[in-house]
């Protein structure tokens, strides 16, 4: 039964991550930009958690080794993943970039096999193949005239995120509270992104009700809750299964796009959703 809870945590994490493009798009429509959104996303999340720790007198101290691991994941994982993925959008379509980014579950499974000797079962293989096919169909890939540099950046974002997932599974930080883990991820990624944003001269935050609501949503729902649940799922069902279930994320993004931005329901949407849900059922059967 505990494994089923792990699957539920992973799916809820993906759903929370899936809302992020909606919040980001709302901010872009108000005049903001990627650098500012990413900076505020992590900095506000760390501030929220810091206030929470103070109010409820929660000890969030970590030792030197844990601190270095958490900061490395935040800077090398979340910062580099965000920048490489968003930069790839300048050269290739968002759909193609997203699909290439979702190479990360396959990379996680391979790394998990090499490092932790986790078995690569037939259920995981089937779930991985079907979920990748689902993402491919959902995004609607057009491969003609692909920009090599853009494709390379998108693939790199998948590899850096895979490294991030593997880092989250490090035994030195497994015993930490999920929220404490998210706090250190957020503050390290937030500071590094803010420095990059200020140096590039791209800092712009429009002060209006919609922007403020969106940045609170992206910090609370798509950062604190999503990463917290992701870490919780990792501890129960492991990096491989949690990563595969991460492919549920595009479904939520597309459905919310239909609801909020009147985007069309298409046959690829229905087929891709069926593929990804089928992969969830296969993993649930194994667990």
Q: Mean of the pLDDT values across residues 2-8?
A: 88
pTM to 2 decimals? 0.85
Helix ranges (H only) for the chain are 2-18, 20-29, 34-55, 64-72, 80-88, 94-101, 104-116, 122-139, 148-168, 178-200, 209-219, 226-245, 249-261, 267-286
Proportion of the chain above pLDDT 90, given as a percent: 41
Taking only the tens place, the pLDDT of each residue in 144-156 is 556 788 889 988 9
User: Quick count: other Cβ atoms within 10 Å of Cβ 270?
Assistant: 12
Taking only the tens place, the pLDDT of each residue in 80-104 is 998 898 788 778 776 677 778 888 9
Please check whether residue 37 is in contact with residue 27, taking contact to mean a CB–CB distance below 8 angstroms: yes
Q: Which two tokens stand for residue 248?
A: 């549920």
Structural domain spans, the chain? 2-286
Interior angle at CA 236, CA 227 and CA 46, nearest 5:
20
What pLDDT is stored for residue 145 in this prediction?
A: 59
Query: 203 CB contacts (<8 Å, ≥6 apart)?
Result: 35, 36, 39, 197
Residue 281: pLDDT over 80: yes
């Amino acid at each position: 039964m505990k494994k089923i809870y792990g699957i539920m945590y992973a799916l809820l994490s993906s759903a929370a991550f899936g809302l992020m493009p909606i919040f980001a798009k709302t901010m872009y429509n108000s005049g903001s930009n990627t650098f500012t959104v990413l900076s505020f996303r992590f900095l506000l999340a760390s501030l929220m958690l810091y206030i929470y720790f103070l109010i409820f007198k929660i000890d969030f101290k970590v030792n030197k080794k844990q601190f270095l691991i958490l900061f490395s994941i935040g800077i090398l994982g979340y910062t580099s993943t965000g920048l490489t993925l968003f930069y790839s959008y300048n050269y290739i379509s968002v759909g193609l970039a997203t699909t290439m980014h979702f190479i990360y579950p396959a990379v996680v499974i391979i790394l998990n096999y090499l490092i932790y000797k986790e078995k690569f079962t037939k259920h995981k293989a089937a779930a991985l193949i079907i979920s990748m096919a689902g993402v491919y169909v959902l995004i609607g890939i057009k491969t003609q005239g692909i920009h090599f540099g853009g494709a390379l950046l998108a693939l790199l974002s998948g590899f850096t995120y895979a490294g991030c997932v593997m880092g989250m599974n490090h035994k030195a930080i497994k015993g930490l509270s999920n929220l404490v883990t998210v706090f250190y991820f957020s503050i390290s990624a937030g500071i590094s992104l803010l420095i990059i944003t200020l140096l590039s001269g791209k800092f712009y935050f429009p002060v209006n009700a919609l922007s403020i609501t969106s940045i609170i949503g992206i910090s609370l729902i798509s950062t604190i809750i999503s990463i917290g649940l992701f870490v919780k799922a990792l501890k129960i069902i492991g990096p491989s299964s949690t990563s595969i279930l991460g492919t549920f994320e595009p479904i939520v993004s597309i459905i919310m796009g239909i609801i909020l931005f009147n985007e069309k329901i298409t046959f690829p949407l229905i087929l891709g959703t069926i593929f990804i849900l089928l992969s969830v059922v296969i993993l649930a059967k194994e667990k």
